[in-house]
């Protein structure tokens, strides 16, 4: 499970991104994630209407945006280098009967997801690709919308991935990105951590990317920033996540 707070716990193990998320994948969906609770409302507000659009989700993980946007009428392609996270996304799309395995590098799967609401079934189509965005090799100007949620903080250098995002984005298309506030990793919490069932802590590195860095890259790539939103902690918010009680002391100490 995820625990946010003091950074001086002994015995943790550093893991690189793909290995870390492969290890975390089986329990990732079962945790109350405070970052997602902060991030998702703002990201969905920026995404807006997607009916009939072709959407790319970069670093799609367990497919939380893939399914939501496909249910809203988009044709969604999700890309992620973690085999374990894609397996969870595939189960979410195809259900418990989904066939496991088969996620070799460069493999892709197209599936359908159906849920029954109050009155009628909702069906949607999602394609998942195992690898990096560069390896996926999508055509130029292929997508109406590119989304990347809480993923780019794992990249030490943004430019190659953002350049590829701009290449596959149609003229007049939109890009929506969510990232950690840079003060968080700069203050010392430059990783995301999780714990295995035996209590072993693992840490995956995260990197601070200043707003100015994004702004300069967008300008170089011919992209215009239309909106910028920032989410703060609301009164009583930490009490919703008992494992985050240490965050209050950590924030006060850091800032």
Q: Identify the band that residue 248 occupies on the pLDDT scale cut at 50, 70 and 90.
A: very low
Q: Is the pLDDT of residue 157 over 70?
A: yes
Helix (H, G, I), strand (E, B) or coil at 202: strand
List of residues 6+ apart from 176 with CB closer than 8 A: 43, 46, 47, 145, 146, 147, 148
CA distance 20 to 205: 10
Parallel/antiparallel/unpaired status of strands 108-116 and 121-130? antiparallel
Mean pLDDT across the chain: 81
Residue 82, burial from CB neighbour count under 10 angstroms (0-12, 13-18, 19+): buried
Maximum separation of any 2 CA atoms in the chain, in Å: 53
pLDDT digits 0-9 by tens, 201-247: 999 999 999 999 999 999 999 999 999 887 766 655 555 544 444 44
CA atoms of 108 and 116, how far apart (whole Å): 26
Q: What is the mean pLDDT of residues 42-69?
A: 94
Closest to 163 measured CA to CA, from 146, 151, 181: 146
Report helix, strand and coil shares of the chain as percent, to nearest 5. 35, 25, 40
Dist. CA 46–CA 40, nearest whole Å: 10
Q: What is the pLDDT of residues 106-143, one digit of tens each?
A: 556 565 544 433 333 334 578 999 999 999 999 999 99
Which positions ≥6 away from 107 have C-beta within 8 Å? 129, 130
Which pLDDT does position 107 carry in this prediction? 52
Q: Report pLDDT for 189.
A: 83
């Amino acid at each position: 499970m995820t625990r946010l707070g003091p950074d001086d716990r002994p015995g943790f193990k550093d893991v690189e991104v793909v290995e870390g998320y492969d290890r975390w994948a089986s329990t990732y969906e079962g945790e109350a994630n405070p970052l997602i609770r902060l991030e998702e409302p703002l990201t969905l507000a920026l995404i807006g209407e997607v009916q009939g659009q072709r959407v790319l989700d970069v670093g799609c993980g367990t497919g939380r945006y893939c399914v939501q946007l496909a249910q809203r009428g988009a044709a969604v392609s999700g890309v992620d280098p973690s085999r374990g996270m894609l397996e969870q996304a595939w189960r979410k799309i195809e259900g418990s009967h989904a066939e496991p395995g088969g996620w070799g590098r460069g493999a892709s799967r197209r599936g359908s997801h159906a849920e029954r609401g109050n009155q009628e079934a909702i069906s949607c189509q999602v394609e998942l690709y195992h690898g990096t965005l560069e390896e996926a090799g999508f055509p130029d100007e292929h997508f109406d919308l590119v989304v990347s949620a809480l993923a780019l903080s794992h990249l030490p250098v943004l430019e190659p991935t953002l350049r590829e995002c701009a290449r596959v984005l149609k003229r007049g298309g939109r890009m929506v990105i969510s990232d950690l506030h840079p003060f968080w990793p700069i203050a010392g919490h430059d990783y995301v951590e999780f714990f295995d069932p035996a209590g072993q802590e693992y840490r995956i590195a995260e990197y601070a990317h200043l707003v100015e860095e994004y702004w300069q890259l967008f300008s170089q790539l011919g992209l215009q920033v239309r909106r910028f939103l920032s989410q703060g902690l609301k009164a009583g918010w930490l009490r919703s996540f008992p494992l985050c009680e240490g965050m209050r002391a950590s924030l006060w100490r850091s800032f």
